[in-house]
A and B are shown apart, each in its own frame.
Chain A
């Protein structure tokens, strides 16, 4: 897929665990894992907003477009 999710990188930069992030933004660890692995078909604005708020970052820090 052309859209790459760099959530792992941001989590490492903020020294935060996936479990903690999932608790803060209110989604299950299973869903967060789907998002991190790039298997997700879509991301809700509300989820993106919550992630950006929790990690204090911009959407572009999490999502990246790479040409195939």
Chain B
């Protein structure tokens, strides 16, 4: 199937891009941390709720570590999807690697969504900045995709059982 090859290539590109992003953000964080230039820091995924002109040093460090953690979680999600595409491309549809990869990717996406949601509520409170509840605070897309991957994992698990039974039908 051609579509799985395209998905695999796209996931591979995303994977390396996110690894580079993670490496770049880590180096940037360490560099500005050493210089003590906190207002230049701008962590990904939660930067829209933080105004760094008002931040204290510890909050900046914590928010940046959470931001780096979120990027790393996303790398893990893509890594699991990458693993499953390798198997799917070789037409090994119903095996433990695919089932576990989908389950882990779904779970990690849910963890990502929860951390992002909590961070977006906590940081405005800690920083005493004006808090406006917007649709951007709710990572609905990540939650839905996460749940969908967990559901897909269950479907593949049942399909594996059916395939095994079919193979043992003489």
Contact = CB atoms under 8 A, between A and B. Distances in A.
Contacts of A27: 170
Interface in B126-161: none
Contacts of A24: none
A42 B169 CA distance: 5
B168 A44 contact: no
A35 interface: yes
B81 to A, nearest CB: 32
Nearest to A39: B168
Interface in A1-59: 27, 31-32, 34-35, 39-44, 47
A43 B168 CA distance: 9
B94 to A, nearest CB: 15
A52 to B, nearest CB: 14
Given A34-B168, A39-B168, A41-B164, 18 more contacts: A27-B170, A31-B170, A34-B170, A35-B170, A40-B168, A40-B169, A40-B170, A41-B165, A41-B169, A42-B165, A42-B168, A42-B169, A42-B170, A43-B169, A43-B170, A44-B169, A44-B170, A47-B170
Q: Sorted from nearest, which 6 A-B pairs have the closest CB atoms?
A: A41-B168, A42-B169, A41-B165, A35-B170, A40-B170, A31-B170
